[in-house]
Amino acid sequence: MNIRIAFFIILAGISIASCKNENSSTTKNGFKYKLFKTGKGDFIKTGDIVYLNAMLMHNDSIFLDTRTNPMPFEFVMPHDSQVTNPSPIVDILPLMRAGDSAVVIQPTDSLKNLQPFMKKWKEIQHSFKILRVVGEKEMKTVRDKEAAIITQANKDLEDYKANKLQNMKTTTSGLKYVIHQEGDGAVPKAGEVVNVLYYGAELSNGKEFDSAYKKGAPFSVIVGQQQVIPGWDEILQTLKKGTSATVFIPSKLAYGERGIPGIIAPNSDLMFYIDVIK
């Protein structure tokens, strides 16, 4: 048992005992909880992007622990109208801020489609640790950058097609890129989590198909694990953290003959403007 798991078990044990006594707190949908207010900043609101660790326990047994994944769990706080069934995470998050922890007790009779191995259980313990919250103000700051990014990407595409793009580098695989600003961070290694802001378009017509700038928050990926297209795995292990660049990815390093139906045509070469967050 590692230190982090041991801490969570101790935290859960203290909280479960607290939840069962007469001074326990209760959410709007009747879930008992214990909140550890060690965070700061604004309380979580509808639309916020929340990065957290979560663990599900029954007694002393852990049957789900997101910390086994190098990337934290990402959750977008829904509007009340989007919630069809009471949920511990939806109930507790508005009471929390970045840095806070909580344990919530959920009776199993409130669960639909209960798994066979859980039918004899009376309750489940949810442990949450809020790592980061991206609120509307921060998302707007990112979204406001998109217009300038699109202008830069379109200029790079025009120069690329006219063979006028200066300082372009080509890798042995055929991937091409030009650095706009080189960062001073380390080059990510395989297995490392990297956060990236990006704008993506088809090379043939400049048609946008995806943008983290539009979402307002970076995309997280474990590099070198085939979680993304080969061109992304390669470029993210080439550029230093803090670098912004335009990347031209041949179809064989993108989505190949499959494409993405309705989004990216088969055999499409792609262009990405990317900003590797330090």
Q: Which of 62, 160, 209, 277 is catalytic?
A: 209
For residue 15, pLDDT over 80 is answered with no
Does residue 255 contact residue 203 with C-beta atoms inside 8 Å?
A: no
Does residue 128 contact residue 38 with C-beta atoms inside 8 Å?
A: no
Last residue of a domain, one of 79, 113, 133: 133
Q: Which of 43, 73, 150, 210 is catalytic?
A: 210
244 and 129 co-located in one domain: no
Residue 249 annotated in active site: no
What confidence score (pLDDT) does residue 19 get? 55
pLDDT (average), residues 168-177: 97
For residue 171, pLDDT over 60 is answered with yes
76 and 114 co-located in one domain: yes
Residue 159 annotated in active site: no
What confidence score (pLDDT) does residue 202 get? 97
Both tokens assigned to 43: 């309380």
Q: Which of 272, 273, 274, 275 is catalytic?
A: 272
200 and 235 co-located in one domain: yes
**3-state helix vs strand vs coil in the chain, percent to 5:** 25, 30, 40
pLDDT (average), residues 166-193: 96
pLDDT (average), residues 49-60: 93
What confidence score (pLDDT) does residue 231 get? 98
pLDDT (average), residues 182-190: 96
244 and 128 co-located in one domain: no
pLDDT tens sequence across 108-142: 888 888 788 888 889 999 999 999 999 999 999 99
193 and 87 co-located in one domain: no
For residue 265, pLDDT over 60 is answered with yes
52 strand-pairing partners: 73, 130
List the CATH number of the domain containing 75: 3.10.50.40
Q: Which of 75, 199, 248, 273 is catalytic?
A: 199
pLDDT (average), residues 253-261: 96
Q: Which of 9, 62, 179, 229 is catalytic?
A: 229
For residue 157, pLDDT over 70 is answered with yes
271 and 204 co-located in one domain: yes
Domain count, the chain: 2
161 and 108 co-located in one domain: no
128 and 146 co-located in one domain: no
The one-letter amino acid at 40: K
User: Quick one: CA dihedral 181, 182, 183, 189, positive or negative?
Assistant: positive
Q: Which domain holds residue 200?
A: 138-276
Q: Which of 31, 75, 219, 255 is catalytic?
A: 255
Give me the percent of the chain exceeding a pLDDT of 90: 79
108 and 196 co-located in one domain: no
Last residue of a domain, one of 133, 161, 184: 133
For residue 2, pLDDT over 50 is answered with no
CA distance 101 to 258: 43
Residue 255 annotated in active site: yes
CA distance 98 to 135: 11
Query: Per DSSP, which regions of the chain are E strands?
Result: 25-26, 32-36, 49-58, 61-65, 73-76, 101-107, 123-134, 169-170, 176-181, 193-202, 208-211, 219-222, 244-249, 270-276
3-state secondary structure of 234: helix
Does residue 104 contact residue 114 with C-beta atoms inside 8 Å?
A: no
DSSP string, 20-77: HSTT-EE-TTS-EEEEE----SPPP-TT-EEEEEEEEEETTEEEEEGGGSSSPEEEE-
Last residue of a domain, one of 114, 133, 152: 133
Residue 33 annotated in active site: no
Query: What is the value of pTM for the model shown?
Result: 0.80
Does residue 176 contact residue 168 with C-beta atoms inside 8 Å?
A: yes
Does residue 9 contact residue 127 with C-beta atoms inside 8 Å?
A: no
Residue 75 annotated in active site: no
Does residue 249 contact residue 175 with C-beta atoms inside 8 Å?
A: yes
Residue 272 annotated in active site: yes
What confidence score (pLDDT) does residue 18 get? 47
Q: Is 65 exposed, middle or buried (0-12, 13-18, 19+ CB in 10 A)?
A: middle
pLDDT (average), residues 193-199: 96
39 and 111 co-located in one domain: yes
For residue 96, pLDDT over 80 is answered with yes
What confidence score (pLDDT) does residue 4 get? 42
For residue 71, pLDDT over 60 is answered with yes
pLDDT band at 164 (very low <50, low <70, confident <90, very high): very high
pLDDT band at 9 (very low <50, low <70, confident <90, very high): very low
pLDDT (average), residues 165-176: 97
122 and 218 co-located in one domain: no
For residue 20, pLDDT over 70 is answered with no
Q: Is 141 exposed, middle or buried (0-12, 13-18, 19+ CB in 10 A)?
A: exposed
18 and 90 co-located in one domain: yes
